[in-house]
Amino acid sequence: MTERERFLEACLFGKPDRIPLTPGSGRKSTRERWFTEGLPTDVQNIIEYAYRQAGGKMELPKGGEGFAVKERMMPEFEEKIIEKKADSQIVQDWKGNVCEIGNEFTIEYLRNAIDFVTRRWVKCPVENRTDWEDMKKRYNPEEPSRISENPVELGTRLRNREHVVAFHFSGPYWQLREWLGFEGLSMMFYDDPDLVREMIKFWEDYIARLLERAFEHCVPDMVHISEDMAYKGYSMVSPAMTREFIFPTWKRWGEMIKKAGVPVYAVDSDGYIGELIPIWIEAGLNVCDPMEVAAGNDINEFRRKFGKNMAFRGGVDKREMAKGGKYIENEMKRIEPVIRDGGYIPGCDHGVPSDVSWPDFVHYVKLLSKATGWM
């Protein structure tokens, strides 16, 4: 099977020859630890190197070119340091957020997922309707540079691809939280629900238009939305409010995605998502990740409850990874029934943290390779 066929068979409860090998990887602090424990500093593909160290012999997929759809604001805010303190700094990031971070970080850490950064929010870019009117000007869906150059030529090349092509977008909750902040958005649901609806509708129409433009040239294998809207035990917005405010947007996008012939409509949310999965299923979403175990997500329970209406990616407890040995072995045994049942691509339930040693990561990759057919 090709990489593309294998991915789709795994997500759609088919019969892949092997399940995609996606163990996850570490950010800067994790890699720096691994460099002291046996990972060469010049290795470009850490996952493939770990696979070889674990004894893997097969050729791993190499991926290929994608079709870009750019949702980010244009223009972006100026990135700048506002104030330097003894142990921290007040900065403005590209999204217009003003926050306090440690002096060990640069503003670049807030632009890219270099490492996990603890921050204190000082000010968010949208605090009132005037801010909102200014923010809207940064999202013109007709801007030519929002989709790949030479889209007709690129789309033609991608029609007979053997690798996976995906479009990634921010969901409505995620995006409003980016503008308003968690507290600001939470309060606005109650203080000014009409403005919340207006902002969600704006984002719904904006992404819908980007999808229309992109679908004219390329039908991807997956449309994936980021929608972090849960924490330990519960969703950040009640199921009732989720249905009232956000569900219509997910459903509209889902209908567009299905009509275009895209087989996978996926969503990412950290935290406990058990309350949200039924709503996602109703909206047309059919894959979710990363299935954080520490938040209470149990893919065995979810499989019994939701059957083949929802596939999963992730779900391997990073805490057990850090313990190593029999603990990660037991963790792999725990998820084995869902691996056998299909509709599941196992991997770390978030970024691999720095308390996971390089030897334990290699051992985990070996176990995962055996479970997914790569050894």
- For residue range 246-272, list pLDDT tens digits in order: 999 999 999 999 999 999 999 999 999
- Is the confidence at residue 283, as pLDDT, over 90? yes
78-137 pLDDT per residue, tens: 999 999 999 999 999 999 999 999 999 999 999 988 888 999 999 999 999 999 999 999
Confidence of residue 341 (pLDDT cuts 50, 70, 90): very high
Q: Which amino acid is at 31?
A: R
Mean pLDDT of 336-341: 98
Q: Which residue has the tokens 């290929």?
A: 64
One domain for residues 115 and 130:
no
One domain for residues 15 and 94:
no
- Is the confidence at residue 185, as pLDDT, over 90? yes
Task: Please give the Cα distance from 183 to 203 (Å, whole number).
Answer: 20
- Per-residue confidence (pLDDT) for residue 56, from 0 to 100: 98
- Per-residue confidence (pLDDT) for residue 227, from 0 to 100: 97
- Is the confidence at residue 324, as pLDDT, over 90? yes
Backbone dihedral angles phi then psi of residue 3, each to the nearest 5 degrees: -55, -40
Q: Within 13 Å of residue 237, how many CA atoms lie on the same side as its CB?
A: 27
Task: Please give the Cα distance from 49 to 362 (Å, whole number).
Answer: 9
Confidence of residue 190 (pLDDT cuts 50, 70, 90): very high
Q: Which residue has the tokens 């630890």?
A: 33
One domain for residues 250 and 343:
yes
One domain for residues 116 and 33:
no
One domain for residues 273 and 324:
yes
Contacts of 318 by beta carbon, 8 Å cutoff, 6+ apart:
293, 294, 348, 349, 350, 352, 353, 356
Q: Domain containing 183 — which CATH number?
A: 3.20.20.210
- Is the confidence at residue 193, as pLDDT, over 90? yes
- Per-residue confidence (pLDDT) for residue 96, from 0 to 100: 97
Please tell me whether residue 375 adopts helix, strand or coil conformation. Answer: coil
One domain for residues 273 and 364:
yes
| Residue-averaged pLDDT of the chain | 97
- Is the confidence at residue 360, as pLDDT, over 90? yes
* % residues pLDDT > 90 (the chain): 97
Q: How many domains does the chain have?
A: 2
Give the residue from 333, 328, 327 showing the smallest Cα distance to 364. 328
- Per-residue confidence (pLDDT) for residue 164, from 0 to 100: 98
Give the residue from 330, 318, 339 showing the smallest Cα distance to 24. 318
One domain for residues 91 and 113:
yes
Sign of CA dihedral 96, 101, 104, 110: negative
Give the residue from 47, 42, 69, 67 showing the smallest Cα distance to 58. 47
Give the residue from 160, 164, 198, 165 showing the smallest Cα distance to 179. 198
Q: Which of 89, 124, 159 is the last residue of a domain?
A: 124
Mean pLDDT of 341-358: 96
For the CA atoms of 38, 41, 46, 48, the dihedral, rounded to the nearest 10 degrees, stands at: -80
Q: Which residue has the tokens 């949200």?
A: 276
One domain for residues 210 and 110:
no
Give the residue from 172, 166, 299 showing the smallest Cα distance to 226. 172
Q: Which of 61, 89, 124 is the last residue of a domain?
A: 124
Q: Which of 97, 124, 151 is the last residue of a domain?
A: 124
- Per-residue confidence (pLDDT) for residue 113, from 0 to 100: 84
- Per-residue confidence (pLDDT) for residue 116, from 0 to 100: 86
One domain for residues 120 and 11:
no
Range of the domain at 257: 3-74+126-372
Could you tell me where the DSSP H helices lie in 95-246? 108-111, 129-136, 151-158, 172-180, 182-191, 193-215, 239-241
One domain for residues 180 and 273:
yes
195-206 pLDDT per residue, tens: 999 999 999 999
- Is the confidence at residue 181, as pLDDT, over 90? yes
Mean pLDDT of 349-362: 96
One domain for residues 348 and 327:
yes
